[in-house]
Amino acid sequence: MTKNQSPIVADPIERLVRSLKQHGVDGVDLAFVLGSGLGVFADRLEKARAIPYAELDGMPRSAVPGHAGRLVVGEIAGKRLVVQQGRVHLYEGWSEREVTRAIRAFAAIGVKGVVLTNAAGGLHAEWKPGTLMRVTDHINQQGAAPLLPRERGSGTPYDAEFGAALTKGAKEARVPLEAGVYAGLLGPTYETPAEIRMLRWAGADAVGMSTVAEAMTARAAGMKVAAVSCITNLAAGISKEPLSHAEVMAAGKAVATRFCKLLEKSVPHLADAVAR
């Protein structure tokens, strides 16, 4: 290597961290990860700057519809945020480490709190599509654990005080917000009615194919974690209609205004929670 050459950084997380810093994504306390059909929140940021994943060295890119594949850095209520518009999933063939790579990189650049969002199937007949649910705990049925032996994850990864900031934001926005347990399954197929009966028996309130690995990793990395599920459909055996990703996208679009109001009003409370 000559003195004019830069050292080669082989580790993909280190490469992503370096790339984030090169693009000015540092000095940010809060990160948001937006699930299927929920990327519209990024459009609410002021002084926004979008960075396509293709420009970020080491950033995995999803092929699932509804995941725009870019980071947006900006402000809400004077608080600087980084918003991840789209994520990758285990069912796409990505590994546990790849699915959580962005979370690890966020922790490395100093992010203190992360809000994970997802589209989910509802396990309560009275929860109509468009219902929003604060995740208070999860059930990991993905058959994968993202943590390394040296990392420790004990108890629920969802911070009670940080999550309460979402509840405060919901009240200020006058947006109804349920609370419950999210079951993360591998996918890509939707659950059978028998699997839904099992999950209800186990105490789940919503079911999806993301979030749990990111939540565990973020907590192990020292970040505060909260999560919101958008109930986009009733799960198999509860709804008489066949399930489809198009239904998920349509429900996400329909709830966009309430979803954005909830997150916008929550930002100051989330910022206060990570500052303590």
Which residue in the list 89, 105, 213, 256 is annotated as catalytic? 89
Q: Do residues 79 and 267 touch, judged by C-beta distance below 8 A?
A: yes
Who's near 186: CB < 8 A, 6+ residues apart?
90, 91, 141, 142, 143, 144, 209
Which residue in the list 19, 31, 36, 271 is annotated as catalytic? 36
Which residue in the list 19, 53, 59, 67 is annotated as catalytic? 67
Which residue in the list 209, 218, 251, 273 is annotated as catalytic? 209
Which residue in the list 14, 23, 68, 92 is annotated as catalytic? 92
Which residue in the list 118, 210, 229, 266 is annotated as catalytic? 210
Nearest one of 197, 218, 101 to 153, comparing CA atoms: 218
Which residue in the list 48, 50, 62, 91 is annotated as catalytic? 91
Q: Do residues 106 and 114 touch, judged by C-beta distance below 8 A?
A: yes
CA pseudo-torsion sign 267, 269, 271, 273: negative
224 three-class SS: strand
53 in catalytic set: no
209 in catalytic set: yes
Which residue in the list 119, 120, 133, 216 is annotated as catalytic? 119
Which residue in the list 245, 249, 250, 264 is annotated as catalytic? 245
Map tokens 């990189």 to a residue: 105
Q: Do residues 38 and 9 touch, judged by C-beta distance below 8 A?
A: no
138 in catalytic set: no
Which residue in the list 19, 118, 229, 233 is annotated as catalytic? 233
Nearest one of 266, 212, 265, 245 to 119, comparing CA atoms: 245
Cα 172 to chain centroid, rounded: 22
CA dihedral 262, 268, 272, 273 (to 10 degrees): 10
210 in catalytic set: yes
23 in catalytic set: no
List active site positions: 36, 67, 89, 91-92, 119, 209-210, 233, 245
